[in-house]
Amino acid sequence: MQAIPRPYLHVLPLLAGCLSLTSCEETQKLQREADDTNTKVQAIQQETQQMDMKMAQYRREIPAYVGAGETAIKQYTVQLAAELAAAEGQVARAQAEVKEAEAALAQARKSLEEIKSKDPR
């Protein structure tokens, strides 16, 4: 068995990607997934903004010294902070999914263009 010449080794993954891309439907599917993920990210960002506004409102309502209810307020503040951290985590995950989807879409478009450029039609 002959070894593949070194300059052609980097082309093989591209060819494999081109051959595995069956149609524009995959590209459209990736675009729809990216759009859906963007919509989710926007919804989570709006929810986070609303939570921030609520926390700011709650802070104004809490007096500087409450006395007996201070422990309950601290617990509630911790709970709100945990909810905010969870929402921020969701936003970060959604943004990562968007980046992955956009990268996959870009690769699919690139592969599609390569296939189109090689098509004799």
> Across residues 98-116, what is the average pLDDT?
90
Residue 1 lies in a domain: no
> Across residues 95-118, what is the average pLDDT?
90
Residue 89 lies in a domain: yes
Domain range enclosing 68:
25-118
Q: What is the pLDDT of residue 1?
A: 46
pLDDT tens, position by position, 17-37: 555 555 677 778 888 888 888
Residue 9 lies in a domain: no
Residue 111 lies in a domain: yes
pLDDT tens, position by position, 42-88: 888 899 999 989 888 887 776 655 565 777 888 889 999 999 999 99
Cβ-Cβ contacts under 8 Å for 4 (sequence gap 6 or more): 12
| C-alpha angle 96-98-99 in degrees, rounded to nearest 5 | 65
What confidence tier does 117 reach under pLDDT thresholds 50, 70, 90? confident
Distance CA 7, CA 73 (A): 67
Residue 114 lies in a domain: yes
Residue 69 lies in a domain: yes
- 111 burial level (CB within 10 Å; 0-12, 13-18, 19+): buried
- Report how many domains make up the chain: 1
Residue 2 lies in a domain: no
Which two three-digit tokens encode residue 116?
Answer: 């189109």
Residue 68 lies in a domain: yes
